[in-house]
A and B are shown apart, each in its own frame.
Chain A
Amino acid sequence: MSERAPVPQQSEPAEMRLDLPAAVKEAAIAALVAFGLFVLMIGIRTDQGPTGALVLTTRFGVLAAIVAAVFVAALLRATLWREAAVLIRHFVPATVKTATSGASGYAAVAFLIFALIVPVIFYSNRYLLDLGILILTYTMLGFGLNIVVGLAGLLDLGYVAFYAVGAYSYALIAQTFGLSFWICLPLAGILAAFAGILLGFPVLRLRGDYLAIVTLGFGEIIRLILLNWQSLTGGPNGISAVPRPSFFGLPFNSSDGGFAATFGLHYSPTHRVVFLYYLILALALLTNWVTLRLRRLPIGRAWEALREDEIACRALGINTTMTKLTAFAMGAMFGGFAGAFFATRQGFISPESFTFGESALVLAIVVLGGMGSQLGVAVAATVMLGGFELFREFDQYRMLVFGAAMVAIVIYRPRGLVSTRSPSVSLRAHKDISAAIVSEARTETPA
């Protein structure tokens, strides 16, 4: 399927004139649909009464308000929005395109510098440091998954399994054998990589969505095993008192041999947070660096070739089995590192932290970042998790907004937040290309 499916253009009427009756009709239909959708679900609430049976409370006021809001929104959309969309299409693209393509080279550098000085600026703000650590953890997971999905083109819906394997490996090895973080970290990565190969074998022959469901199932299997293998994993109670990291052997505590005393500082719990921050930043940068290097090696080229065309790969003598397995193993290894970091940072792990929701979030970060763009992953992680934190006050509406934002971003920016790529190979000048011509992001019609 070499030619691209034509994208049907919305046929604009020759002259844009306001057609009020049609707009009102459209809005009325929207309001009617909204009424149908919400009449039972919002108009009536069920709660358990004192006897245990469900009692009904009506909320027709809320229902009316929502239907009215939908009517107004649909009316505005049918009148003003269309004109605005035409204006945007006329004026914005050129300027935005030049601005973003010019800036993207510097954006990565600026992003990195900012990430480096965050602990200096916000030293006293524990909350922001924790948020930074969270964002960097997901950035790292995104980089790891990007190897599997973005480079090798294998859709993995169970990435959280490797995160879990890494976390539990770290916790169990460190607790049982008393080894330090720096020995456990590579071990956790290796074990996760083995889990990746274990998953890789049965899925070698599968394609597309069959692959997706098997990876999803694998993620669930790992979670259920963690939940039910009580004697090893502690079941739903998880593992607590996971050993904390040390600064090359110096623990972060107020003792005489601790980090603060050795360097002649006043003891402060923030030292550990700052250390964790730089640790995950270093791990994320390592993942990024390895990915970028791998793309230049034969194995990286093979991944990208596999993504573009598996049959052509075979014809050229690429061992697709090895290529797929290494992609799974590499992606899993970085997931394992991130898991080990997560365990040491939290000090407590339980199967609840490794649900499908995490896999979905990481996949969303990769796709919304723009499939294969490293900077995009970092931007998407910041936007998604940062935005999520912004809505902290809205508490129960937070996930609702989060899901809606996911839908909105993918509809309005289907190519991701960063929609350019630097090609792995270029003839003379190195210049960015549009994501549209990369296979995973290519317009496809189902066969």
Chain B
Amino acid sequence: MEYFVQQLINGITLGSIYGLIAIGYTMVYGIIGMINFAHGDIFMVGAFLALIAFLVLVAIGVTAIPLALFLVLLVAMALTALYGWAVERIAYRPLRHSFRLAPLISAIGMSIVLQNYVQVAQGARVKPLPPLVQGGYTLIEGNDFAVRLSNIQIIVVVTTLLLMAGFSFLVARTRLGRNMRACEQDLKMAALLGINVDRTISLTFVIGAALAAVAGLMFLLYYGVVDFFIGFLAGVKAFTAAVLGGIGSLPGAMIGGILIGLIETMWSAYFSIEYKDVAAFAILIVVLIFLPTGILGRPEVEKV
């Protein structure tokens, strides 16, 4: 029982990180209907920027960890958002009215570019960071197993919840959110009604990238290592999460993320760690057989 609770906590933490990345996929998909394959690599860039920003802060003498982390969060979000903007501007906007697969290929190309850019700029070796946030609480003292909730897990989950709340507010209540929802429904009509479609799409990428940067920082804090290749697997998992939850749906992305995190942790804990990714993909396939548009996805109504 204690073991199960512990795995539940670990799974939710991991799932929160996936969920934050999945939001970027699902928003972009909802609005322009493309798989932004480079999003996983944007997350990786975010993790690197957070790492470098932290080291720079330490080098110039900011040693108070909470302050440093807060500044790192801001810097990483801002600069990663710039990456998101630049990627959209360079690789996707010229293809706005092209055929369906063109942006996909462009995105795969961009993903290769980002990975190799980071590899060339920062080297291929893993970058370790000593644990910054330590300590935690013992929740249940079992006979031979104690359930621990570490501070870093609290930070990850709370940050994710706060961001989700803020983001839901943004989509539901602000002018930008309304524009985004309008673009999601019908780009052409939104443009006719005076919404600056290009700007809305740009901002969607910017917000998605900023959330991915937060996920990157959380990943860095949680695991303590980054390398240039973390974006691929995290990206594929997050995209799987977005599809599982129903692509285009924001709560779906979060639910999907947590589900994928839980599946992965539970499978590693009870079956075999080698096949955890197989389990995640297999469950995705099984879910899609019965719910072809994911858990919260709207069924596509096709008009003839």
Q: Given A214-B285, A406-B108, answer yes or no on A40-B97 (Cβ-Cβ < 8 Å).
A: no
Any B CB within 8 A of the CB of A33: yes
Interchain CB contact under 8 A, A41 and B123: no
- Nearest-neighbour CB distance to chain A for B138, whole angstroms, equals 30
- A46 near B127 with CB under 8 A, answer yes
Set of chain A residues within 8 Å of B79, measured between Cβ atoms: 36-37, 39-40
**A40 cross-chain contacts in B, Cβ below 8 A:** 49, 52-53, 56, 75, 79
Q: Is the CB of B55 within 8 A of A210?
A: no
Contacts of B101 in A (CB 8 A): 149, 155, 367, 371, 440
Which residues of chain B are within 8 angstroms of A447 by Cβ–Cβ distance?
33, 300
B237 to chain A, nearest CB (A): 10
A209, B97: Cβ atoms under 8 Å?
A: no
Residues in A199-234 with C-beta less than 8 Å from chain B: 202-203, 205-210, 212-214, 216-218, 220-221, 224-225, 227-228
| A397 contacts partner chain B, Cβ-Cβ < 8 Å | yes
Report yes or no: B300 in contact with A46, Cβ–Cβ below 8 A.
no
Report whether A403 and B116 are in contact in the complex, using a CB–CB cutoff of 8 Å.
Answer: yes
Q: Is A164 an interface residue (CB 8 A)?
A: no
| In the complex, chain A residues 248-282 whose Cβ is within 8 Å of any chain B Cβ | none
Query: Which listed residue, B35, B187, B300, touches A212 by the CB 8 Å rule?
Result: B35
CB contacts under 8 Å to B, within A396-447, are 396-397, 399-400, 402-407, 410-411, 414-415, 440-447
Which one of B5-13, B172-180, B286-294 is at the A interface? B286-294
Interface pair B285/A399, CB less than 8 Å apart: no
A210 CB contact (under 8 Å) in B75, B98, B243 = B243
Structural contact, A41 and B129, CB atoms closer than 8 A: no
Smallest Cβ-Cβ distance to B103: which chain A residue: A410
B-contact 0/1 string along A179-213, CB 8 Å cutoff: 00000000000000000000000110111111011
B48–chain A nearest beta-carbon distance, Å: 7
Binary interface encoding of chain A residues 5-23 relative to chain B, with 1 for a CB under 8 A from any of its CBs, else 0: 1011000000000000000
- Tell me the B77-95 residues at the A interface (CB within 8 Å): 78-79, 82-83, 85-86, 90-91, 94-95
A217: chain B residues at CB < 8 Å are: 236, 240, 281-282, 284-285
Q: B95 and A220: CB pair below 8 A?
A: no
Main secondary structure of the interface of A (DSSP, over half): helix
Contact count band on B:
35 or more
Contacts of A340 in B (CB 8 A): none
Asked if A54 is an interface residue, CB under 8 A from chain B, the answer is yes
B283 nearest in chain A by CB position: A217
Tell me whether A8 and B82 are in contact (CB under 8 A): no
- Cα A56 to Cα B57 in complex, Å, equals 11
Instruction: Check A102 for interface membership: any CB of B closer than 8 A.
Output: no
Tell me if B243 and A364 are in contact (CB < 8 A): no
B285 close to A202 (CB less than 8 A): yes
Answer whether residue B262 sits at the interface, using C-beta atoms and an 8 A cutoff: no
Residue of A nearest to B59 (CB): A56
Within the complex, what minimum Cβ distance (angstroms) separates A195 from chain B? 14
Q: Give Cα distance in the complex from A41 to B56, angstroms.
A: 12
Q: Is B222 an interface residue (CB 8 A)?
A: no
Q: How far, in whole Å, are A443 and B32 apart by their CA atoms in the complex?
A: 13
Does A389 reach chain B (CB closer than 8 Å)? Answer: no
- Sample (28) of A-B pairs whose CB atoms are under 8 Å apart: A5-B97, A33-B86, A37-B79, A41-B48, A44-B52, A46-B52, A48-B128, A52-B128, A54-B51, A54-B129, A202-B286, A210-B288, A212-B35, A212-B104, A213-B240, A214-B284, A228-B274, A356-B236, A360-B112, A363-B105, A364-B108, A364-B109, A397-B116, A400-B113, A403-B116, A406-B112, A407-B109, A446-B187
Contacts A209-B243, A217-B282, A406-B106 known; list 14 others, CB within 8 Å: A33-B86, A37-B83, A39-B79, A40-B56, A41-B121, A44-B56, A54-B55, A221-B281, A356-B232, A356-B236, A364-B109, A400-B113, A406-B109, A410-B102
Q: Which 5 A-B pairs have the closest CB atoms?
A: A446-B33, A403-B112, A406-B109, A217-B281, A403-B113
